[in-house]
Amino acid sequence: MSVAKISEITATSKKSFDDAVQNGIKRASKTIHGISGAWVAEQEVTVKEGKVTGYKVRLKLTFVLDAD
């Protein structure tokens, strides 16, 4: 029997939402192994002087817990 867990993280990028997602999964993979899926729960942009200067995503990651 497998047991999965969901963990929520926030990741940022100066390029795009897609890059923020990639950054988040890459970083999370350093300490969470077995990530099997992710979904974007929220997106946000930072605006300065009328221009988008940053992208932020809140991700929910699914991963399978290690067997005993």
The answer to whether residue 18 scores a pLDDT higher than 80 is: yes
DSSP of 3-57, one letter per residue?
-EEEEEEEEEESS-HHHHHHHHHHHHTTT---EEEEEEEEEEEEEETTEEEEEEE
Tell me what the pLDDT averaged over the chain comes to.
95
What is the distance in angstroms between the CA of the first residue and the CA of the last residue of the chain? 11
Q: 2, 6, 15: which is closest to 58 by C-alpha? A: 6
pTM beyond 0.85, yes or no: yes
pLDDT, residue 58, reads 98
Both tokens assigned to 43: 């997106």
